[in-house]
Every structure is written in structure tokens, then in C-alpha cells.
Amino acid sequence: MSNQAESPDASIRPFRIDIPQADVDDLRDRLVRTRWPDQLPGVGWDYGIPLDYVQELAEYWRTGYDWRGHERQLNEFPQFTTTIDGQNVHFLHVRSPEPGALPLIITHGWPGSVAEFMNVIGPLTDPRAHEGDPADAFHLVVPSIPGYGFSGPTRETGWNPRRIARAWDELMQRLGYRRYGAQGGDWGSSISRELGLVVPGHLFGVHLNMLFAQGPDDQPDLTDEEKARLQRLRQFRMSGSGYGAIQSTRPQTLAYGLTDSPAGQLAWITEKFGEWTDGGLPDEAVDRDQLLTNVTIYWLTATAGSSARLYYEAARSRAWGAPENSTVPTGVAVFPREIAPAIRRFAELSNNIVHWSEFDRGGHFAAMEAPDLLTGDVREFFRRFR
């Protein structure tokens, strides 16, 4: 059984996204009335996401983007809520038509949402309908992290990655999945790995598409590629991690601006799609409407501040310290434009690596940028457990 304390209300409740029209109208009205900042000439992205790009994207969001159409697409997937450890948890539960499907829980990160996985859910649950092998099918559980999206804001302190992992195990047990796989990137990577630490006997394996390169700085025989990856990590910590410093120290202060200004929320999220994706502008690396659906979920649920709190909680739970050793079979998919691509020899210091793939395209948002590659790698990794 799960170590998670049973909620007084363990029911699984059907859920359907149905945003009031007044909220959609309010978003458009606020975009019209945006008070734009100035910008220095000729600085490009050096000082942050450029003014003209945000203005153009905001205008499309106001006049061209169809929330109702994307709301309908999201509602094509069966969705539910339940209460775990006092917290509302929203999730998609998409069962495969294949009787031998393997249960798999997939977790997003920041600044992501369940909308990240729109292009992988079909191929993973019904490979027969997507030119795949039906033997590779999964029953998918795709939750919104507490504090994110339709899970709504957290109501108390302490929702760190380990606590979320325990909630995920309770969710899987409630759904009848005694053993299952876990997959994730960004915070989904941390949470999936934590599952392997707190309930290793419940997991077949863990597949990650992000794993920070951590190891001794004085390693004497690093290859040129390994040195380049370590330098990428150093560069990120020096000049690309300001958002994390703010969210892990002052999430409440940040929340006022992002919850009041859709242009602010748009810029805060979209900048990361510019920095962490493989090639071009953010809406060239990923589908523009899918990007805006992701941003719109943050806006309509007013979870800018509560999502940022995960950084605060993690920083105080030592989730960013030296990793504990995991014995669960682990697979890693390395995409070249990840924040800091993983280094296998370092990953093996604290993980039971049984599968390692290196790709020549894709970045941090793999399910959006390269859904074909991610789907293929998840299938390949979990074949050994069927």
C-alpha cells in the first residue's frame, strides 16, 4: 500500500474544463490595456524577451488565438480530480484500448502543464492507430502538479517534490495500478525520480528527459563534449537562472504582477521557450497555439504564484542538493538544447542507468518540440518491463 495517508474523501470525480466567458473576455480586455515598458535599441534578447516580439504574440493571443477550440481539444481526454493529502489534484486518465498496456504516470514541469503532452498521449496510449506496435501501449495518467493549472493553488506549505511523489503514488494506487512506470522532465524529472526513492517497489522504471550533470569539478579525463556540457550548466547558473532565484525566494512578490497582467505572464513563460528550445523564436520551436494554451492555463487558473512556490519548497527540502542513490532502473533521453544536457558518467553515480539516448534535435520541452523522438524513446525504454 501507499505510504500516503488516505484522504477522508478518496473519491475520483469527473472533471471538465469550462472557463466562464467573462474570464475569457477579461483576458482580452486586459491585453488591450497593457502598459508596455520601454526597451533599449539593438539589444535583442540580451536584457530579456524583446518588446516587439511580446507585443506581436500578445496581439495574436487577443485576436487570433481560440481558447474555446483548445479547451474542446483538452476535454477530448478523460479528466478527473481527487483530494490527496488535503490537496485537490487534477489529472488526465487515458486508458489504452490494448489489454496489455503498461501503466505510466507522466509529469510536466515549470513553465509547463498537461497541455505539453497533447501530441504524445495518442501515440503512447494507442500506438496501433499511430503506426506503432500495439505491444508498446500505455495506460496514461497525466496529473497537474499541486499549485499548477487545474489542480489549483496549494493551500499549505510543504508541497515539495517528495511530497508530490507520495501523492502520485497514492493516485496510482487509487486508480488500481499497483506497479507502474514514471516519466518526466523539469520538475517532472525530480518528482519521477523521487517516486523511485520513496516507493521503489511500486515502479517498473523511471524515464527522464532532463537530468542535471552533477559530478566532481576536478574530473581529470573529461571529453570535450562533457566539458561543453558542464560549461552550459555553469553558464545557466550564472546568467540564466534568475527566474529560479526569484521563485525560490520571493514567489509571493512575483505573483502580484503575473496574476494581474497577462502580458507579464506571457513574457515570463515565453522567455523560457526562447532560451530552452531548439532553434528560432519560441513559437517557431513549438506550435504557437500550443504555447499559448499552456500560458492561458496559467492565466485562467491564476496559478503563477502557487506554481512558483514549488521552487521555494524544493529549495528548503534540499531537493537541489546532492542526489540520493536510486536503485530503480532508469532511462535518460538527452536532447541537445536542454538547459544543461546530462553527462552519463555523472548520472551513473546516483542512478541505476540501464538506457541512455542522445538525440540531434529537441530541447527542454521535448513533448512539444520532438514528440516523435520522446515517444519512441519511452516505448524503447519500457519494453524491457513488459
One-character DSSP codes across 253-321: HHHHHHHH-HHHHHHHHHHHHHHSSSSSSHHHHS-HHHHHHHHHHHHHHT-HHHHHHHHHHHHTTTTTS
Block residue for cell numbers 487577443:
62
Cβ pair 215, 233 in contact under 8 A: no
Q: Catalytic residue, from 70, 90, 202, 364: name it.
A: 364
Chain CA centroid to CA 356, Å: 20
Write out the DSSP string of 32-63. HT-------TT-TTTTSS-HHHHHHHHHHHHH
67 strand-pairing partners: none
State how far the Cα of 111 lies from the Cα of 362, in Å rounded to an integer: 17
Q: How many Cα neighbours within 13 Å face the side chain of 283? A: 21
Instruction: Specify the pairing of strand 203-208 against strand 180-184.
Output: parallel
Q: Which of 186, 278, 289, 377 is catalytic?
A: 186
Q: Catalytic site residue 311?
A: yes
Are 69 and 118 contacting, i.e. CB atoms less than 8 angstroms apart?
no
Describe the crossing of helices 262-275 and 288-301 by its angle, rounded to 10 degrees.
140
Residues marked active site are found at 186, 311, 364
